[in-house]
Structures are given as C-alpha cells and as structure tokens.
Homo-oligomer: A and B are copies of this chain.
Amino acid sequence: MSSRVLIIEDDPVIRRFVRSSLETEGCEVFEADCAGRGLIEAGTRQPELLILDLGLPDRDGLEVIRDVRSWSRIPIIVLSARTQESEKVAALDAGADDYLVKPFGVPELLARVRAQVRRQASMAVGEQAVFGFGDVTVDMIRRRVTRAGEEVHLTPIEYRLLTALIRGHGRVLTHRQLMTDAWGPGYAERTHYLRIYMKQLREKLEQSPAQPAHLLTETGVGYRLLS
C-alpha cells in the first residue's frame, strides 16, 4: 500500500496500536495527539489519508473535519467511541468518508484504509473497461462496440444481451438466465427471442455467422461466449 497516513488520536495506546498495524502494511505513518497539532501535521506532511479520533481534548472532531475539508479532499476515516447514529451522520456530513466505532478490529480498519486509498488512487487515471474476442472490442463505459476498428451499431437489447454473455464469458448461460438478464423477469419463457437476437449478434460480430467461432450454441441449455 505504502501510503502516507496521519493519525490524530489522543489515546497513546490506540495510536501506537494503529500505527504499528499500518506500518506492517507498508504505510508511512505520522501522529498527532490533539486537533491543533493534527491540523499542522496535515498541512505539512501532506498525507494521503487521515485517521481521526472524534474525542480530542482541545477541539471537537467535527471542526477538524470541516477545517481539513476547507482545503483538502484527502480521505478521512473517523474513529469514535460514540455509537449514536446522529454522531455518525454528523461526521459523515461534515466531510468524513468513513466512520468506525470503537472498539474496532484491526483487520477491518486496515481493509477500510485500503478501500479509501485504492479509491483515491484509482481516481487519478482514467482507464477503460474493454472486453475483446476475435476482432471485436466492447467498451463497457463508452457503450461502444467495434469490429476490426469499425464501429458496429447494436440495438439496446442486442447490447444488453452481449454484455450478459460477456459477464459470463467462458461459462454456459442458460436461456432463462439470458432472458431475464437482457429482457427482464417475466420474459424468461420466451426463449425464442434469443435465437433471433443471437443471429443478429452473429451477423454483426462473427466472421462467418453460420459457423460462429465465439457466440456458441449449447444445444438444450443456452449460449456461451468464447473469447
């Protein structure tokens, strides 16, 4: 993980405890035992994650959240002994990203830290989700399908059917499964539609639609997409 994490927590036991857990994960950890010091550390150390105790001696935790949020968007995970729902709501609405009630398990804390860091990191770059088979490319984000570079137009149902097949690629998907996925529940019995739409997909995507290489029939069961 190797992130820079700042802990603002007045209880030295918990602080050291959380610190060592994070360090075994490969994080670089900074500490502060009160709000004033914490805000300074946050400004100078430029951490990528903030773990904040709400019950600080010098100032209310909510103030700290608002202060940090006025100049930064780093993820904030709140630790607190207060279990009241209103406390959670207040902290989250003040700008916290997660709220963990004490006592908490270290594995859960670490998992939540990982989740926040991962998210932060993944925001940085714009990747794209594309699935390919043969000379076909399916861009799930742009909702675009190309064949040999040329864009292929699919109708709404054709597209939904294709994505259903992609999600289970390799596996055999039953008629009913595909029908409810692409058409919705209540259409499960009209499996005849599948034959019509599979033909259209083959026509648009297969090299020789009569001898499909990827959109395969599993007689008596359903269909399967081979990538």
Contacts and interface: CB of A to CB of B under 8 A. Distances in A.
Interface of A: 33-34, 36-37, 39-40, 43-44, 67, 70-73, 75, 85-86, 88-89, 92-93, 95-99, 105, 107-108, 110-112, 114-115, 118-119, 122-123, 125-126, 129, 131, 140-144, 155-156, 159-160, 163-164, 167, 170-172, 177, 180-182, 184-185, 218-221
B129 A72 contact: yes
A185 B40 CA distance: 12
Count this chain's copies in the assembly: 2
Contacts of A129: 70-72
Given A164-B36, A220-B155, A88 B70 contact: no
Given A37-B184, A160-B40, A107 B89 contact: yes
A143 B40 contact: no
